Amino acid sequence: MTTNTIDLRSDTVTRPTAEMRRVIAGAEVGDEVLGDDPTVRRLEEKFAALLGKPAACFVPTGTMANQTAIRAHTEHGDEIICSDGAHIIHYETGAPAALSGCMIRTIANPRGLFDVADVTPLVRQDAYHFPHSRLLTIENTHNRGGGTVWPLAQIERVTAEARKHKLKLHLDGARLWNASIASGVAMKDYARHFDTVSCCFSKGLGAPIGSAVAGDADSILRVQRFKKMFGGMTRQVGLLAAAAIYAMDHHVPRLAEDHANAKRLAELIANIPGLSIALAPVETNIVYFDIAQDVPLTGQQLSDKLKSQGVLMLATGLRRIRCVTHLDVTAPMIERAAQTIEQCVTGRVAIGV
Ligand SMILES: Cc1ncc(COP(=O)(O)O)c(C=O)c1O
């Protein structure tokens, strides 16, 4: 990869800025397992306050955040309700089954949204031969849905229905920062409807590692216990908590630039013959587009051609490509990326070059 490469594969590819590296180097640290890393404690307090929750737990990854929360809320044999495109189903190596022994009932929707009428029929009756419906999870923004922002009123309806059935509620908010910036809804106004909320510092916010789960004291005590059990309790991890604090303080409002860049990219792609894209779903920093049947390229072939021209994007389906904007992508890079896509699709860059 050269310095001219435009990397739109994911918002996880960002590297710590010079200032973030300076803050990491100066972080006060202690032994996290012994409970005395002051920077981790500061981060957990700050994150809990932002989400309006009594407690929080710093964890290494978004996957561990989701899986410790799922384990905290469920017992083996329980059932989870979520969208059929949820990250916890597709990209967490079957962990709800492997680590929590849970079954999952899914709701089909290309954008990752669902409503009360979808949830109610999935809740099991209380009879000894059924699994217990125990937990409902929502993903906001929804990754596979295209960075979808859940409308707050819809969250209120769905979570109220879930509560009626005594379900626990977890929000996979890996990109809740993006949802909040796009909608103007405060993080805590989303969070108040859930028992636990996980967010990542290592995606749009640009920290190298780290996520956190916020919730009530009992849930977070269990999250901490399972973090230790899953091997996620570390030692002088204040170095990383410092990066997360820096990211929360400096990199949240700028997510609006990523959203503007994603919209611009989508508009440019819409004008390229041979590609199709729905513009309305591009609400945050994720853009999906499809290659028409009459274009002699699969998603992987287009991605390979783009790579040969210094533009990285992910083929996520046979004829589908995903691009994600982030901290290291500027508006001029978006113009160049779109030109390169056009050249590759219209054949001005030969296959195999
Ligand atoms: C919605 C969502 N949740 C959870 C995760 C997991 O994060 P990590 O890769 O840090 O495990 C991701 C990662 O992309 C994600 O998009």
Closest residue CA from atom 7 of ligand 1: 62
What atom of ligand 1 comes closest to residue 139's alpha carbon?
1
CA distance 32 to 264: 43
Scored b (16 or more CB within 10 A) or e, 220-253 reads bebbbebbeebebbbebbbbbbbbbbbbbeebbe
The domain boundary, picked from 250, 268, 288, lies at 250
Q: How far is the CA of 203 from the centre of ligand 1 (A)?
A: 8
For the chain, list residues with pLDDT below 70: 1-2, 350-353
Contacts of 28 (CB under 8 A, 6+ apart): 38, 39, 238
Name residue 61's amino acid.
Answer: T
Whether residue 47 is found in the same domain as residue 154: yes
* Pocket probe mutation, ligand 1, options 88, 203, 326, max atoms within 8 Å of Cβ: 203
Q: Are residues 141 and 204 in the same domain?
A: yes
Does a structural domain hold residue 2? no
Indicate the burial class of 52 (C-beta count within 10 angstroms; 0-12, 13-18, 19 or more). Answer: middle
Within a domain: 205: yes
Between CA 249 and CA 265 the distance in angstroms is 28
Domain count, the chain: 2
What spacing in Å lies between the alpha carbon of 181 and ligand 1's midpoint? 19
Q: Which residue has the tokens 């990209």?
A: 91
305 in ligand 1 pocket by Cβ < 6 Å? no
Token pair of 260, please?
């503007």
Rounded to the nearest integer, the mean pLDDT of the chain is: 96
- Both 215 and 260 in one domain: the answer is no
Say whether both 246 and 265 belong to one domain: no
Same domain, 220 and 237: yes
- Give the domain range for residue 259: 254-345
CATH number of 306's domain: 3.90.1150.10
Give the residue whose CA is nearest to atom 8 of ligand 1.
Answer: 62
Q: To test the ligand 1 pocket, which listed residue (10, 63, 139) has its Cβ within 8 A of the most ligand atoms?
A: 63
For tokens 């979570």, the residue is: 159
Mark whether 193 and 340 lie in a shared domain.
no
> What is the Cα 315 distance to its own chain's centre?
18
* Digit-coded pLDDT (tens) for 26-41: 999 999 999 999 999 9
Q: Which of 202, 222, 250 is the last residue of a domain?
A: 250
- Give 299-352 pLDDT, tens digit per residue: 999 999 999 999 999 999 999 999 999 999 999 999 999 999 999 999 877 554
* 236 and 270 in a common domain: no
Looking at the fold, whether 220 and 335 belong to one and the same domain comes out as: no
pTM recorded for the entire structure: 0.96
